[in-house]
Chain A
Amino acid sequence: MDFLNPAFWTFVAVIAGIYAIMALGLYVQFSLAGLPNFGHVAFMATAAYVMAILVVRYHVPLAVASIGAIVAAVIVGLLLAGPALRLRADYLAIATIAGGEIVRYLAMNLPELTGGPIGSMGLAGPGNIAMYNQDWLALLNRLTAVLSEASGRAVSRDFTMALLVWTLAGLLMLVFRRMERSPWGRVMKAVREDETAAAAAGKNVFSFKLQALILGAIVGAISGLLLAWQIGIFSPEDFQPTLTFYAYLILILGGLNRLWAIPVGAVLFSVLFSGTRLLNFFPLSLIDSGNRAFLRLFLVGFLLVLFMALRPQGLLGNRKELLLEK
């Protein structure tokens, strides 16, 4: 594949946009309320599975299934809240990573419900390949046709998707910026900094943490739906804990506690992560492709470490703020 292939970069743009929304969900929990949720991927997995199951098994219209999927993610959030919100920092992180893995293992080990290890393809039972995103593709194709006609040239489906995803990401960020700058956001940040002090100031800490967790679950669910539609088929393997770590990377690369750093971090991460796929020029072309794939992950890790060493506050972060202890 060629380094400047526009189709490839359009695909990267779609994934970056979806990751931006995923990271936004985590931002509400981690950067606003200070909840180190390491099971964010559970909301994405739940939403993707519930949507696919409702569409394939129960022939529910896609829009209704999507709402059902978001509701299901909220329910998972509430289930997680019970034990998790009683815990602080490290313990909360451990409990949530377990929560995320429970969802993935359930998906893997309940084949009658989820299709098991083969994932969404197995939802219609053995011998049938299940598809859940025909309605989505139809919608996307219609939009693509409209865009092509309006712009006077052939637009790819991924381009339409990228436009859609980034528009949604932008809208969500506008809404969250407004909320972050309101007194509600002030209380959230106070809970993040010191929940005892927030309680002493008369704020109901539990209620605010719960709001953050649920909001994050909703936004996470949206990103899970978009991811499922974009990749067409998915399996439990697509919802590994690494996805949550990607979301953290995006927040950290862009700059911690900065809303507008999320798209920057998402693009930077996606370019680092996907761009290294194309390192097939000399002298790297001397290495065979299997080893190159291995080298690539090594390189991604190295670049991330280098970046953090040179700019620990991220691209848009504030170094002064970073150095203040809690």
Chain B
Amino acid sequence: MLLEIRNLGKSFGGVAAVDGASFGVAEGSITALIGPNGAGKTTVFNLVSGFIRPDRGTVRFEGRDIAGARGDAVARAGLVRAFQAPRVLTRMSVLENVMLGAKDQPGERFGMSLLAPARVARRERDVQARAHEMLALIRLDHLADDYAGTLSGGQRKLLELGRALMSEPRMILLDEPMAGIAPVLGQQLLQHVQDLRARHTTVCVIEHDMDVVMSISDRVIVMDEGRVIAEGTPDEVQRDERVIEAYLGRRAPMEAK
């Protein structure tokens, strides 16, 4: 297991958003995290990616415990995330947004552009070339010099994915990538996600569109009320009584006549 979560818990006030969730994500897989609204899926993502500190539990990534590590440290370790509402840097160009994602940029250290300009410029050229390739891949290259703030919602999701992929992550967390975007862009995004698996990048995705979940996932993890209630292949999960119950509610017992 590339990512291994044990007994993860987080409460906000008196509400246990995540209440002892445990699951694993296999290397090279596409794993879907599903469940009704309020099940704690996004909170799990926030806990795993270091944007909220867990109250309890462990998060192991590549065997190392990263529970409680800061978001930027988790990202540098190779576990990056995209947000449900895409976070692009609106008053920066599309190209700059993508370039930001690259790792190992000596020019990001204070004063390096003055002390070692040649080294900084060399790496910058590489990063820029790779950013253009990435933009071509996500088909935003014609917008490279536009402000990211002028993009549509779907384009922003693609851009965020591009920024995340620039760091060549081992694993990526996608929070509802298909929500609120045009069908054409949705299909494109879906294709990118499947391409990721082909390149051995592990994907964990929160998604509400069941057709998408069932068609692309290797494994499905079902959460309800902060816990994992079922886990398995798409077929297994679809037939699971507890899952149907969580989504549709329990059948009321017949009144005995």
Cβ–Cβ < 8 Å partners of B88 in chain A: 194, 197
Decide yes or no whether A127 CB sits under 8 A from chain B.
no
Q: Is the CB of B83 within 8 A of A184?
A: no
> When A199-B71, A202-B75 are in contact, do A193 and B114 touch as well, CB less than 8 Å?
no
Chain A positions 77-105 with a Cβ under 8 Å from a chain B Cβ: none
Q: Which chain A residue has the least Cβ–Cβ distance from B124? A: A183
Contact partner of A186 among B83, B99, B160, CB < 8 A?
A: B99
Range of interface residues on B (Cβ < 8 Å):
35 or more
Decide yes or no whether B113 CB sits under 8 A from chain A.
yes
Q: Is the CB of B91 within 8 A of A200?
A: no
Cβ–Cβ < 8 Å partners of A202 in chain B: 72, 75-76, 80, 101, 103, 167
Binary CB contact string for chain B from 136 to 168 against chain A (1 if under 8 A, 0 otherwise): 000000000001011000000000100110010
Binary CB contact string for chain A from 170 to 191 against chain B (1 if under 8 A, 0 otherwise): 0000010011011110110110
Q: Is the CB of B108 within 8 A of A324?
A: no
Within the assembled complex, what's the spacing in Å between the Cα atoms of A169 and B60?
51
Decide yes or no whether A153 CB sits under 8 A from chain B.
no
B154 CB, min distance to chain A CBs, angstroms: 17
Cβ–Cβ < 8 Å partners of A296 in chain B: none
A interface: dominant SS: helix
> When A183-B124, A184-B107 are in contact, do A200 and B92 touch as well, CB less than 8 Å?
no
> When A200-B83, A324-B150 are in contact, do A175 and B101 touch as well, CB less than 8 Å?
no
Contact partner of A190 among B92, B103, B107, CB < 8 A?
A: B92
Q: Is the CB of B90 within 8 A of A326?
A: yes
Q: Is the CB of B100 within 8 A of A201?
A: yes
Within the assembled complex, what's the spacing in Å between the Cα atoms of A324 and B127?
26
Q: Is the CB of A178 within 8 A of B91?
A: no
Q: Is the CB of A324 within 8 A of B72?
A: no
Decide yes or no whether A258 CB sits under 8 A from chain B.
no
Decide yes or no whether B51 CB sits under 8 A from chain A.
yes
19 of the cross-chain contacts (CB-CB < 8 Å) are A178-B114, A181-B113, A183-B105, A184-B107, A184-B110, A186-B92, A190-B100, A193-B89, A197-B87, A199-B71, A199-B75, A200-B83, A200-B164, A202-B72, A202-B80, A324-B90, A324-B147, A324-B149, A324-B150
Chain B residues proximal to chain A, CB less than 8 Å: 49, 51, 70-72, 75-76, 80-83, 87-92, 96, 99-101, 103, 105-114, 120, 123-124, 127, 147, 149-150, 160, 163-164, 167
Chain A residues proximal to chain B, CB less than 8 Å: 175, 178-179, 181-184, 186-187, 189-190, 193-194, 196-205, 211, 257, 320-321, 324-326
